[in-house]
Structure 1
Amino acid sequence: MGCQAYFPNPQLSCKLPKYIPNYLSPLPRLHPLKPRLFHPISSTTTATESPVPTADDVVYEVEFRTLGGCKLGISRYPDFEYNAEGGRGNGRGVKNEEDDEISVDFELKSVYIPPLTTATTKFLGLPLPPLLKIDIVPELFRGTINQESGKIDLEFRAKFWFSIGSVYRAPPLVVETVLTSEESNGKMKKGRGERLKNNAELEGGSCRLVGVATVQPIDDVFLNTFLSLPTECLAVLNASISLSPT
């Protein structure tokens, strides 16, 4: 059974080649549609400085898990409903005894965020078409957690790889923001998070992190036009975080 997705810009509407499912027909024509070389998604990143503990500091093992009920929004389009359950990441935290803030740095090899697919994502109440996929490859994930107040600020940078089956794959969109438990405001997008709080159903505490980022144009006319780049995007991420002294 097919489904349809409505995109509000009629100038982008025309037929795709016949081997693209008809529910993608509102998308602009990929012209010319030549085979593109698929490069494997790489998790190679620039090394970041980890907090170095002193003799008086307390060191924590930190576990981060993503939950359902998340949202992702970009440009003028309505937000995507996103089930990020199953995402995870492990890292280390260092707390100075003079304050309640823990500096955390997640090991990038351990960080996994589920891709946006027909199984995880809905747009206007309908699942994404089966061939559409957006992989998320983190490049930076670190920041601070205040144990007393529950306030969280995590620097986050990732590459978003947009593809349609084996037919089309765009250069990555680079998204860089601060995922915060407070407010995040841009010119187009805004969101409000929730501070870390204990949750009896979870091993650790639950929180809601939000972040607004500016997405710059890439070397791809189709995606630049379709998303009206440069533009803003919004991430709303429900998560659990556990801190265990080592």
Structure 2
Amino acid sequence: MGCKLNSPNTPILFKFATKRSKLGGKSINFSPTSCLNNQNQETPTKIPKSNISTVHFKSLTACKLGISRFPDFRYNAEGGTGTGSVKIHDDNSSSSRLLVSFDVGTLYIPPLTTQTTKFLGLPLPPFLKIDILPEFFQGSINQESGKVELEFESKFIFSIGSLYKAPPLLVKTVLSSEESRGIIRSGKGERLDDKGKCRLVGVATVDPIDDLFLNSFLSLPTECIANLNAIITFS
């Protein structure tokens, strides 16, 4: 291929070879449009931030919950769901954050029951139940790095059939894909992968409530830890 470059005011002339070049016995046709076609074949791997408006949350199996110095509960949270709104937070860097706010009216996290939870390898007693009632769930997600930081506030209500129902325990924490550390409890999460899977960990202080039995049994005030396996996606 011949090429001649002149001044900006002079037309640029291109001359393309019309003969076939032989390499290793094979004929090769040179096309002036082949490079342009290759450059245009790009497939996006992520939803453009400008098109994102909704965030979806699903809790999965293989979760853990722990309080005080008791061994962790093995908790199957599969079936938990929630949706929320998304805003783009442009911090003048290449990795803009997504600000998410979940609607607690759509947020459901399965209770701890004999069907969902094991303690020391055994299911919880049939009538023991711990309801989880979220009141606040919002924060930031970085699509590029996968880092997640979500403020979480919820009531945990212990009950034994119709015989006993304790006042709610209020838990406030930050569920994070990074490390969460308290005085007696700690854990480390996992960032979002390309399928939206992550592990969120949060340590919180639980204050005493107006219930002498539960205060004594749990040694309140104390720390609790949530270790949730989840999927977070956008649309």
TM-score normalised by the chain length of structure 1: 0.73
**Alignment equivalent of 1:214, drawn from 205, 208, 214:** 205
- What's the CA shift for 1:163? 0.3
* 2:222 corresponds to 1:231: yes
- 2:76 aligns with 83
Q: CA RMSD in A?
A: 1.3
Structure 2 CA distance for aligned equivalents of residues 81 and 166 of structure 1: 25
Seen in structure 2, the aligned counterparts of structure 1 residues 75 and 233 have a Cα distance that, compared at 3 Å, is: same
Task: Give the 5 Å matches for 1:65-144.
Answer: 65-97=58-90, 98=92, 99-144=95-140
C-alpha distance after superposition, 1:187-246 (max 9, x if no partner): 0000000000023xxxxx1000000000000000000000000000000000001111xx
Which residue pairs with 1:147 in the alignment?
A: 143
> How far apart are the structure 2 equivalents of 1:147 and 1:206?
12
Does the 8 Å contact 1:179/1:211 carry over to 2? Answer: yes
**TM-superposed deviation, 1:67:** 0.2
Q: CA deviation at 1:96?
A: 3.6
- Distance in structure 2 (CA, Å) of the matches to 1:118 and 1:183: 30
**Which of structures 1 and 2 has the bigger CA Rg?**
2
Per-residue CA shift, 1:25-68, capped at 9, x if unaligned?
xxxxxxxxxxxxxxxxxxxxxxxxxxxxxxx9654210000000
- Is residue 104–residue 135 contact of structure 2 (8 Å, CA) maintained in 1? yes
> What TM-score does the superposition give when structure 2 sets the normalisation length?
0.76
Structure 2 distance, partners of 1:207, 1:198, is 10
CA distance in 2, matches of 1:141, 1:157: 7
Tell me which of 137, 162, 168 is aligned to 1:166: 162
Can you list the C-alpha shifts for 1:60-90, whole angstroms capped at 9, x where unaligned? 2100000000000000100000000000100
The alignment status of 1:183 with 2:179, answered yes or no, reads yes
Q: 1:94 to 1:59 in 2, by over 3 A?
A: farther
- AA in 2 matched with 1:70: C
Residue pair 1:170, 1:220 contacting (<8 A) in 2 also: yes
Which amino acid letter does the alignment assign opposite residue 145 of structure 2? S
Query: 8 Å contact 2:52–2:234 — kept in the other structure?
Result: no
The number of equivalent residue pairs is 184
**Distance (whole Å) between structure 2 residues aligned to residue 164 and residue 144 of structure 1:** 37
Q: How does 1:7-22 map to 2 (within 5 A)?
A: none
Q: Which runs of 5+ in 2 are unaligned?
A: 1-48
Identity within the alignment, %: 64
Helix, strand or coil for the counterpart of 1:196?
Answer: coil
